[in-house]
A and B are shown apart, each in its own frame.
Chain A
Amino acid sequence: MEDNFAELLELCAEQDQRAFKKLYQEASPKLYSLALRLLQKPELAEDVLQEAFIKIWQKAGTYNSQKGKAFTWMATVTRNTSLDKLRSLKLKAAETNVQYEGLDFASDDLEPDHQEDLSQEMQRLRECLKQLQPAQRECILLSYYYGHTHQELSVKLNKPLGTVKAWIRRGLESLKPCLS
């Protein structure tokens, strides 16, 4: 998957609009899904997706395959654009009608054929995440996918704020050597 995206990005850097359309068609469903979870509103998520893809088009030449997969680069662009949007609108999860929630898609027991679709890097990351305590893993994933703050996680999980902070801190500390 990632090789195709990297090749398409390379063509985008040369202003190839057909390659860009193909890149959009193949990558936009998951990137839109990411924006939807962070923003919770389809119209906002579509605005962000549009903005993110324009950035991807403009910055395609700066993508460096040595530093990571093309898809993760695009996911980072989309996620950061979503967070900027949230910040500019001063939106908080509590103010939206939550439609997208849960972590079923990231559960440990994925269908075997779904697992095969995952990149080696993602499979490695899943192995690292499996080493965390469930609560640590849940907090980190909810932060990544939904942008929840410590306070929001404390309310959502009905746990003291200090406990949530400790789970996240220890979770990241445990992840560090594995990711390295």
Chain B
Amino acid sequence: MSKLNRYQNPEIFERLAMAYAAGTLHGRARLRFEALKNQHFYLEATTNAYESKFGNLAELLPGEKPSDQVWKNIEENIQVDAPARNVAKKSWFGWLSNGYAYALAALLVTTFMIVNPLSTSPDAVAYAAVLEDFENTPVAITRITHDDLSVSVDMVKDIPLEDGKVLKLWCHPKNGGEPRMMGEVSKTGQTIIKINANQWEHMQTIGILEISPEPSNLSDSKSRKNIVTLRGQLSPISEK
């Protein structure tokens, strides 16, 4: 079985995620798993679920007081950090305010739903993103729905592709970090990618979707090679 297939086998990756969270995965195996986890959101979602269970073990520990200097250092650090964080927050809102994607996303949903891109509500029933090219022209509409646990990508405009290249869909965590590949996308028509319940849960942490042309033989375990062609903000959709 190839390495890629091993990590896509739920039996195997769940066992590895569990060992990682319990702390029984060590050395190179741990590093390898971390690298894959950072690229594949289904691995990260499963690992997070187990980390949340094993994290309870810390409750059993006897409390030990650290020196007062620790808090002084932390306090100093976060006060220095505060202005930078405010700027970052402002720019994120600014990004939303150029809201073409937001307006188009609203067209995607049925009338009994509302789109709220600022919401972190756990009640999202779907997510939507309009992916635009460099000229801010909408090219792909992406919907991620809980009902059928699927990601659908509708290309509304053809994308010219060099021979030997295919389009890959990537997701970016809201809190930064490396983008993770979600799957291959057809350059015309509709593509459906199935997801599982853990992956659905993980969508709450995703801020941006992107599509880039990649070599057709790019394995999932390799990072993105090419410049992003399409990009869009992922917005949660909740029932009224």
Contact = CB atoms under 8 A, between A and B. Distances in A.
Contact of A168 (B24, B78, B175): B24
A54 B74 contact: yes
A76 B53 CA distance: 10
Contacts of A30: 58-59, 61, 63
Nearest to B21: A76
Interface in A121-174: 121-122, 125, 139-141, 143-145, 147, 149-150, 168, 172-173
A104 B77 CA distance: 36
Nearest to A84: B34
Question: What is the size category of the interface that chain A forms with chain B?
Answer: 35 or more
Given A54-B74, A144-B22, A125 B56 contact: yes
Interface string A10-38: 00000101001100100011111110110
A116 B204 CA distance: 33
Interface in B177-191: none
B60 interface: yes
B42 to A, nearest CB: 15
Given A64-B122, A67-B49, A54 B55 contact: no
Contacts, number: 166
B205 A72 contact: no
A81 B100 CA distance: 39
A50 B70 contact: yes
Nearest to B67: A46
Nearest to B63: A29
Given A72-B58, A105-B60, A50 B67 contact: no
A45 interface: yes
B66 A121 contact: no
Contacts of A50: 70, 73-74, 77
B51 to A, nearest CB: 4
A72 B55 contact: yes
A59 B175 contact: yes
A145 B61 CA distance: 9
B205 A58 contact: no
Interface of B: 14-15, 18-19, 22-24, 26-27, 48-67, 69-71, 73-75, 77-79, 81-82, 85-86, 120, 122, 174-175, 201, 204-205
Given A30-B58, A50-B73, A71-B55, 10 more contacts: A50-B77, A54-B77, A61-B120, A67-B201, A71-B58, A72-B53, A75-B55, A139-B24, A144-B22, A172-B19
